Structure 1
């Protein structure tokens, strides 16, 4: 979805800049989350793809379904509908969320582990990662049994692979080269 990321970036930045001016960063984040979730619903996605429905009707129905009452956010949805970019809303939400986290000097981290981590393990690992990367982290976890053991951490565009599978792959590459 690199194309969606490229398309979404200017929209997310523009909306974030306006949200900063209006002091609406958090409330618009919630509205964008609801809009992004709605667009991913099969019935709403079908509605968005219908060529016989006008962009004004699509924007109106989407904001009505979600219950968006803020005029600027409604206008934003209308602009997206006119430009035929409503399907990019989930990526716009993700980038807007990243901008919000960056404003608070926080980064998003995804921790992949072979088994579910306990609360204590997650707290210890999060503390170590925050110290290592020098920033506070918003952590989500995923279980990936293919790792065999250990963890793989994704923070922004950096990947820290401390998994058994990663070490086996590195050993295999060293032996075959």
Structure 2
């Protein structure tokens, strides 16, 4: 089963809980923190170790969250209990590898709720502040909403940008243009 399909019900349930409890930002911080932790090679090694049982893994993850995420802000006992339940559910259902996708889908739902568009931009080079401001201005005009831009670097693009938003891909890369030109010349 595809990771996005596995992650969707978790993201939707988490989002519904966040809306009900008016904790969108706190849940966003927690799931993003979990995403970083569960994406690490060290944790992947721990999860694959047959000597580490689920109870130990749950305790380890919860302690990490308490130290790394939950200490930063004053959280209610109810939120902490719900957060621990989320981690327990993810561990028991072997969904730790889906946490990054859950976080991504949660952020999309949150963006829709807060009326902004989450945009992933891949660039061949680091984007300076004036370029980023111009890009944000262009994207806000295109989508008619505020945008939240996340920029990653990929030198293989050979120049230009790949822009992903709302299940759309805008390929403004040199590599993409060359591939399109090659297809046209062959056709």
Cα 1:160/1:78, change in 2 over 3 Å: same
The answer on 1:119 being equivalent to 2:129 is yes
How far is the alpha carbon of 1:26 from its aligned partner? Answer: 0.9
Q: Do structure 1's residue 169 and structure 2's residue 168 form an aligned pair?
A: no
Cα displacement (A) at 1:52: 4.5
Which sits farther off after the overlay, 157-166 or 96-105? Answer: 157-166
The 3 A distance-change label for structure 1 pair 130 and 169 is same
Evaluate the alpha carbon distance shift between residue 142 and residue 42 of structure 1 in structure 2; reply closer, same or farther with a 3 A threshold.
closer
> How does 1:1-177 map onto structure 2 within 5 Å?
3-67=2-66, 70-177=80-187
Q: CA RMSD in A?
A: 2.2
Tell me the CA shift for residue 163 of structure 1. 2.8
Give 5+ residue unaligned stretches, structure 2: 71-76
Post-superposition CA distance 1:91-124 (Å, at most 9, x none): 2122212211111112221223333333222211
After the TM superposition, list the runs of 4 or more consecutive aligned residues in structure 1 that deviate by more than 4 angstroms: none
Aligned length: 176
TM-score normalised by L of structure 2: 0.81
Q: Is the 8 A contact 2:117 2:143 kept in 1?
A: no
Unmatched tracts of structure 1, length 5 or more: none
- Asked if structure 1 preserves the Cα contact closer than 8 Å seen for 2:119 and 2:148, the reply is yes
TM-score normalised by L of structure 1: 0.85
Q: Is the CA contact 1:38–1:66 (under 8 Å) kept in the aligned structure 2?
A: no
What does residue 73 of structure 2 align with? none
Cα separation, 2, equivalents of 1:12 and 1:51: 28
Gap change, CA 1:52 and 1:153, over 3 Å in 2: same
- In the TM superposition, residue 150 of structure 1 has moved relative to its aligned partner by 3.1
Q: What CA distance in whole angstroms lies between the structure 1 residues aligned with 2:59 and 2:39?
A: 17
| Distance in 2, Cα, partners of 1:111 & 1:38 | 23
- How many Å separate the matches in 1 of 2:99 and 2:137? 33
